[in-house]
Amino acid sequence: MGDTIATNRGLRPRLRDLGIVIGTLPPGPLNAITDVPGVRVGHATVIHGDGPLRPGHGPARTGVTAVHPHEGSAFASMVPAAIAVLNGAGEITGRSQVDEYGLLETPILITNTHSVGVAHRACVEWLGRRTPTIGREHFVIPVVAETFDGFLNDGAAQHVTEAHVFAALDSAAEGPVAEGNVGGGTGMLLFGFKGGTGTASRVVEIDNHRFTVGVLVQGNFGAREDLLVDGVPVGLEITDLLPTPGEIAAAPETDGSVIVVIATDAPLSDRQLGRLCRRGMLGLARVGATARNTSGDLLLAFSNAPENRVERGDDRVILPSARLADTRMDILFQATIEATEEAVLNALVAAETMTGRNGNTAYAIPHDRLQEVMARYGRLRSTR
């Protein structure tokens, strides 16, 4: 197998295709983070090698995902943003600057733990080629987040390269988003099944205003017994198909990490976006996340409302901005919770069984058995 650059085609089945519907609010047309106008997503997927681990050579089961916050340059046109940590055994670079300024100035990159450095460096290079003043008049601090894929991947090696990061950034597009074993989610596990990348969205009406909340997750967490699907204890019903170690003492830890990216076109301040991050935590709880000791549960939210973007070089003393009244945010909270919950479950459903280093295998959740359990609990609904 060779490295592949995943496009947003070849889409896998999703939760709603199985007749399982989360929450009460309507999704956007794509039920994806790209329902938020201007948001673009790209993946580069790195898969090569089979059999015994040869450190530094493979097998590789990894990748990188890029999220552009709007249709233009985030460096030229910054957006309000906030980052929140549920449990901090993980990394998201640039957090201190986002906390300080309440602004996001780069695309968001999501990859594996040991590829944060190359993704950071490549993002600087990619931005510098488009903005020659970077490194002379301006500095830039990319936002790069990670989860660990060492059960399937040659995790100590640098299989994600600058070329892969460029490919993810350059291929990012509006439209359907590939899910499951793609991009940064390629080698991830979720509740003892194969995990990966997932997305979902919700559309809300506030008086005469229509807004969208979209979520993208890289899911690599959860103990099997904790898995909930629309409140049903699926993890207690499907107890087999646990990850199979091909080597002694290779079983993964009982929990890993998750990255949650929340996008909206509602005009929100960075303080209000922090409130959305905390509601994203509730969405994680609804699928059974408990944020164990070794879990890095990191959430980032941004608003790309045009009226709240900050143009680099704008030297006005007073900058105008708009924000939704706090008293009208309840439905955005609900939208964030529902979309986060469904994004995780879409990652679970879209993922395919994968064998990686030394024969270690993570199994996909069986769709037919999931449907049988949901029907038995009276939670199987008609498909969209």
Catalytic residues, which ones? Answer: 257, 295, 297
Q: Pseudo-torsion of CA 179, 184, 186, 188, nearest 10°? A: -100
- In whole angstroms, give the CA distance from residue 165 to residue 270: 27
Do residues 317 and 279 touch, judged by C-beta distance below 8 A? no
- In whole angstroms, give the CA distance from residue 284 to residue 297: 9
Dihedrals φ, ψ of 334, to 5°? Answer: -60, -45
In the block, tokens 């994680």 appear at 284
Question: Could you tell me which of 149, 98, 34, 118 has the C-alpha nearest to residue 273?
Answer: 98
Packing angle, helices 116-130 and 162-171, rounded to 10: 60
What is the 8-class DSSP label of residue 192? T
What is the 8-class DSSP label of residue 38? T
What sign results for the dihedral spanned by CA atoms 336, 342, 345, 350?
Answer: negative
- In whole angstroms, give the CA distance from residue 74 to residue 107: 6
- Alpha-helical segments (H) within the chain: 95-101, 116-130, 162-171, 234-237, 270-287, 330-350, 367-376
What sign results for the dihedral spanned by CA atoms 73, 76, 79, 80?
Answer: positive
Query: Residue 259 forms beta bridges with which residues?
Result: 218, 298
